Each structure stands twice: as C-alpha cells, then as structure tokens.
C-alpha cells in the first residue's frame, strides 16, 4: 500500500505547484528544489524574473512571513557566482534563522508574486531528473517546482557584506583569585568587495582583510570591579579558501601583520608586533556532520620591546584542534608552548541553544578551562592554576 503523505506535505506540494503553474503570468517568482529547510543552515532558492539576471543586484532583500499574522523577519538573499549570459533566473542563498520552525513563507521585498512556502524541519530527499548537457534540474520528491538554474563552474557564494566573524565571541564567568568574567568579541572586514571596481579589475584584491579581536578579564570580586587587563589585536592579512568538491573538507590559508597591545602606558604596558601565517583545515568524519578541525598558526616577532622575553612563554606557534558538529557538541583546544617549554592550554566545550539570541547568529552554552602561562598579555609570564568559567557564546 502506498505511503500516505502528511497534511503539511500536501499543503506544501499544492502551494508550490500552484506557484510553478503561475510562472508565465508573474513578473517575479521564487522556486526551490525542496520545500524543506533546516533551521540554522544554509538554503538555496532560484529567483525568476523579467530582464537579464546579469543586471540584478548580488543581494536581494527578502522577508520570512510567519503564519497567523506574526511579525516578519528580514533576510538577505545573496547571489551564488555569476549569472549565465541572457538568463532570466539566478541562484541565491541565505541562512534560515534558528528560531523559525514549521511552515513559513519566504518573499522578496516589493515583489508580491515572488514568494514560496518552506518547511523548517528535517531535510527532504531530492532526486535529480535527466537534463540537457550542462544543466542540472533537481526535483523534490514531494512537490513540483520550477527548475533550478545551473551553477556556473567554480561558482562561489558572494559574502552578504564586508563584515564577518573572525574568532570566537563569548561572555563567561568564573575563575578564582579573583572571580572574574572573561569575554571576547572579534570581526573581520573585507576591504575590497568582490562586486567593487577594484576587485573586478584586480580579483586578487578581494582576499585582503582587516581584523580586530578584543579579549578582556573583568574582576568581579574586588570592590571597584576593575578590568584586570584587555588585549587588543588589530590585524591586516590576506585570506583565501579552498573547498573539496565532494564536500569532505575545506582549507583556508591566511597570513599578514598583527599588533597586540593592552593599551596601557609605562610599566603596565605590553605590546608585540608579529608577522603570521595561519591554516584552518576541516575534515568531515561522518555523514552526520561530525568533523575534525586543525588550526596551526606560526609567527615571527617584529617588535617586543615592552616584553623582550615573551617568546620564552608564548613561543613562535600555537595549535588549535576542534572536534564535533556545527549543530551539536564542539570541543576546541588551543595549545601554546614557549621556547623554554612553558605552556598555556585552553579548552572550550559548547552546545547550541535551541533558540538563538539574534536571527542568523548562533547561541551556545559554553564551558571554558585555562591553565598555564599567558591568559592575559599583562600576565604573560605568570603561571595560573586551572581557571574554569561558564557562560554563553555567539560564535565558536
């Protein structure tokens, strides 16, 4: 006996089939190879419209309309690669917000006909129908949709904006002698946008970034609640990434200049200037998404006048290791070893919280342990007992 489809699946199939059948009469349409998306993960749609897709912007404003007249959630669709010449459709991607579950409508702002119902739940099975040479036409198992546009060879997504995450961001409380909060925020900014005049004429320029990271220790036990120390790390570096075509792994390489200072004067002043190279490799271990990450970083000192012996405690390299899943437990380790064997080790264990703090940004419960030298730049030559803290992180 054939398996009976659920009411939700029938609703989606009917809505999507109606949208597809209305294609000739509509100026703009949205289509998807599957009616299902996964909260917190990337999804793709095809925008079909009048005129040449080559003239459309790389970013399109969209919104997610919740059922029952709930509030709309702003979303930005980002183009994938360059459109085929004279084509009237183009592929875009976005990340589905973690807090949106169930059936919701995705719509282009200002284009009432461009909307599609999507179900934020488990992924659907997608079959690939035969197609003409050079054009893949995925077909969802539960609904008929407009055909997906073929991705150009070596197409890479355009970043939604010049700003992006750089290193982990968290706020943690705990430790001892004294009890303190440790927090860090970090971002990077791509100086030349891929769609700008400089990168279009000199493509290699699109890999140039400015980065900034701040890490602070806040004394919560003393009467005046002072900040014990803060480390400011601006950097200028070049970065490029490589992906395995079979999605089994990825590799990002970066190198450049980094300054680190605690922003103080005279005796409490600490600062270093370095040239560094860094690799970020990821190997997928299972179909469920479990991966192993290896992140080595090496540097040479350009200036260390405020702390001439810092290499004895910090050395010239560090090793980061990551094991886990983006949607589950993740264990990270950071190991530094000085030239005289003095070490500093940090462990981070985190797990995603079901509802995110901000749309499109993760929220995780976070446990951190640090032991050894170098918890702060000011105390680079002090050996600390194990410090345990717990809190939340937005990027891990």
Phi, psi (degrees; rounded to nearest 5) at 45: -135, 165
What pTM was estimated for this model as a whole?
A: 0.64
Contact in structure between 139 and 145 (CB atoms under 8 Å): yes
Contact in structure between 389 and 176 (CB atoms under 8 Å): no
Residues 384 and 278 occupy one common structural domain:
yes
Residues 306 and 227 occupy one common structural domain:
yes
Closest CA to 238 of 212, 208, 275: 208
Q: What DSSP state is assigned to residue 264?
A: -
The sign of the dihedral angle between the CA atoms of 126, 130, 132, 134 is positive
What's 35's domain CATH number?
A: 2.60.40.10
pLDDT at residue number 88 = 82
Residues 231 and 377 occupy one common structural domain:
yes
Residues 212 and 125 occupy one common structural domain:
no
SS3 12: helix
140, 172, 190 - which closes a domain: 140
Domain with 373, as residue range(s), is 163-395
Q: Is residue 26 a part of any domain in this protein?
A: yes
User: Which residues lie across from 120 on neighbouring strands?
Assistant: 37, 102
Sequential pLDDT tens for the chain (396 residues):
444 445 555 445 545 444 444 444 447 888 887 788 888 788 899 998 877 787 888 888 898 887 766 667 888 898 888 777 777 888 899 888 877 778 888 998 888 888 888 888 744 443 434 434 344 333 333 333 333 334 444 444 444 457 788 999 999 999 988 899 999 999 999 898 766 678 778 888 888 999 999 999 999 998 888 998 999 999 999 998 887 766 788 899 999 999 999 988 777 889 999 999 999 999 989 887 899 999 999 999 999 988 999 999 999 999 999 999 887 899 999 999 999 999 999 999 999 885 544 444 568 999 999 999 999 898 899 998 999 999 999 888
Residues 69 and 180 occupy one common structural domain:
no
pLDDT at residue number 215 = 96
Q: Which helix (H) or strand (E) holds 395?
A: strand 383-395
């Amino acid at each position: 006996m054939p398996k009976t489809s659920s009411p939700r699946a029938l609703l989606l199939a009917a809505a999507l089939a109606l949208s597809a059948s209305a294609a000739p009469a509509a100026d703009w349409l949205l289509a998807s190879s599957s009616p299902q998306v996964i909260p917190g993960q990337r999804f793709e749609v095809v925008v079909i419209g009048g005129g040449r897709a080559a003239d459309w912007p790389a970013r399109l404003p969209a919104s997610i309309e919740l059922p029952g007249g709930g509030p709309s959630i702003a979303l930005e669709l980002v183009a994938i690669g360059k459109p085929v010449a004279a084509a009237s459709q183009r592929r875009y991607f976005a990340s589905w917000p973690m807090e949106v579950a169930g059936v919701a409508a995705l719509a282009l702002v200002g284009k009432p006909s461009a909307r599609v119902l999507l179900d934020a739940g488990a992924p659907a099975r997608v079959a690939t129908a035969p197609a003409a040479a050079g054009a893949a036409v995925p077909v969802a198992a539960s609904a008929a949709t407009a055909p997906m546009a073929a991705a150009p060879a070596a197409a890479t997504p355009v970043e939604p904006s010049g700003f992006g995450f750089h290193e982990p961001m968290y706020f943690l409380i705990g430790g001892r002698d004294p009890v303190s909060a440790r927090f860090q925020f970090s971002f990077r900014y791509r100086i030349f946008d891929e769609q700008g005049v400089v990168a279009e004429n000199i493509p290699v320029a699109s890999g140039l970034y400015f980065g900034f990271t701040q890490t602070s220790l806040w004394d919560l036990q003393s009467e005046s609640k002072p900040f014990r120390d803060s480390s400011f790390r601006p950097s200028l570096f070049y970065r490029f990434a490589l992906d395995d075509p079979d999605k089994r792994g990825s590799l990002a390489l970066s190198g450049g200049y980094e300054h680190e200072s605690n922003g103080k004067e005279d005796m409490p002043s600490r600062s270093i200037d370095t040239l560094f190279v860094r690799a970020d490799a990821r190997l997928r271990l299972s179909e469920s998404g479990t991966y192993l990450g290896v992140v080595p970083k090496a540097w040479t000192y350009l200036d260390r006048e405020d702390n001439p012996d810092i290499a004895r405690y910090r050395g010239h390299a560090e090793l980061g290791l990551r094991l886990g899943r983006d949607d589950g437990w993740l264990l990270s380790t950071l190991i530094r070893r000085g030239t005289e064997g003095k070490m500093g080790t940090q462990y981070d264990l985190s797990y995603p919280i079901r509802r995110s703090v901000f749309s499109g940004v993760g929220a995780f419960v976070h446990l951190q342990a640090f032991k050894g030298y170098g918890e702060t730049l000011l105390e680079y030559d002090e050996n600390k007992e194990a410090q345990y803290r717990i809190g939340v992180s937005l990027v891990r």
